[in-house]
């Protein structure tokens, strides 16, 4: 069966069929800003949004399965699923309203809560800690990005004990301006810390001790976060596209690019009549499942979730 061209995005090596309105919401639940989206080993999909309850669980076909997390309403932001050393899967969530990072199991039971580090030299007197993302390395160390506060990356032990910080607001190499996303890259033999330095329109790559290794800004505009899949990294670019880079940080393709969307009056809260199936407005979160399908969560007042089904050559 042929597929209409108007439902396909990508290039020859990365082609996807668009599944719009993928998530089937139960009665009584409405999406807020859809900030995060992850998948687990069973291909269940979890969405983190600012409405209540804030965590929604779906199967791969978009059927709603469960929901929880009313305490994150209004502050739901960074969302990361990590497989622990014992094989268990854990959710890590940041709350911009309460200034917290919470680790939970896949049923929403809180296992660890981390607040602002005890650093009076960095916080206090009007300087706020507002975490936007979180990552965990293979040894269990936790990295929290203070994206909306003072632009630091904070490192903690697996038990939540504060270790040290790096960054600080600025535009010089190693400095940060809204480090909106943080992730651990394992493609080069040793863990590297990728930081979406969104206010500086670039990505900076650090060692796990906070030493700058490299930075780049080609083919980037407003990078929000990362999802590593094989040798590739998927980046939701708030300025209306999803970017895929190879293991050398070089462009493979942009998905759903719309260079007019973020220039519209009222963006990102555009009328639903503006949205088109093959075009994004404000991608904020992205993940890739075991089948290679891409899920995109967008920063819009009513939320927007799209599934891109990977097409294979016959």
Q: Give per-residue pLDDT as tens, 112-131.
A: 999 999 999 999 888 999 99
**Measured between alpha carbons, how far is 287 from 79 in angstroms, rounded to an integer?**
11
Who contacts 64 (Cβ-Cβ below 8 Å, separation ≥6)?
A: 23, 24, 25, 26, 29, 56, 57, 58
Q: Give per-residue pLDDT as tens, 172-215.
A: 999 999 999 999 999 998 999 999 999 999 999 999 999 999 99
Give kind and range of the element (H or E) at residue 38: strand 34-39
Beta pairing, strands 232-237 & 241-245: antiparallel
Average pLDDT of the residues in 246-268: 96
pLDDT recorded at residue 5: 55
Give yes or no for a contact between 307 and 294, defined as CB atoms under 8 angstroms apart: yes
Q: Give per-residue pLDDT as tens, 75-103.
A: 999 999 999 999 999 999 999 999 999 99
Give 3-state DSSP helix, strand, coil % of the chain, rounded to 5: 5, 45, 50
Give yes or no for a contact between 251 and 220, defined as CB atoms under 8 angstroms apart: no
**Measured between alpha carbons, how far is 180 from 222 in angstroms, rounded to an integer?**
10
Q: Longest Cα pair distance anywhere in the chain, in angstroms?
A: 63
> Looking at the predicted structure, is the pLDDT value of residue 1 above 50?
no
Query: Which superfamily does CATH assign the domain made up of 5-310 to?
Result: TolB, C-terminal domain (2.120.10.30)
> Looking at the predicted structure, is the pLDDT value of residue 6 above 70?
no
């Amino acid at each position: 069966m042929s597929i209409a061209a108007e439902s396909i995005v990508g290039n020859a090596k990365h082609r996807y069929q668009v599944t719009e309105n993928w998530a089937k919401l139960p009665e009584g639940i409405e999406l807020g800003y859809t900030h995060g989206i992850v998948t687990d080993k069973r291909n269940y999909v979890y969405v983190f949004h600012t409405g209540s309850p804030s965590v929604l669980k779906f199967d791969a076909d978009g059927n709603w399965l469960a929901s929880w997390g009313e305490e994150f309403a209004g502050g739901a932001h960074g969302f990361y699923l990590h497989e622990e050393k014992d094989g268990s899967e854990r959710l890590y969530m940041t709350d911009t309203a309460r200034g917290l990072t919470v680790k939970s199991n896949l049923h929403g039971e809180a296992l660890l809560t981390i607040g602002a580090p005890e650093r009076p030299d960095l916080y206090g007197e009007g300087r706020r800690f507002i975490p936007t993302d979180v990552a965990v390395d293979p040894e269990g160390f936790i990295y929290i990005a203070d994206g909306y506060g003072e632009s630091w990356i904070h490192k903690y032990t697996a038990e939540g004990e504060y270790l040290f910080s790096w960054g600080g607001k600025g535009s010089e190499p190693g400095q940060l301006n809204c480090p909106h996303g943080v992730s651990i890259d394992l493609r080069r033999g040793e863990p590297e810390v990728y930081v979406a330095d969104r206010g500086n329109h670039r990505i900076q790559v650090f060692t796990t001790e906070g030493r700058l290794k490299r930075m780049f800004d080609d083919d980037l505009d407003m990078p929000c976060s990362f999802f590593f899949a094989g040798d590739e990294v998927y980046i939701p670019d708030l300025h209306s596209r999803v970017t895929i880079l190879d293991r050398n940080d070089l462009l493979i393709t942009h998905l759903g690019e719309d260079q007019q969307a973020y220039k519209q009056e009222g963006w990102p809260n555009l009328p639903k009549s503006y949205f088109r199936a093959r075009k994004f407005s404000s991608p904020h979160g992205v993940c890739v499942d075991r089948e290679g399908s891409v899920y995109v969560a967008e920063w819009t007042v009513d939320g927007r979730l799209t599934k891109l089904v990977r097409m294979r050559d016959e």
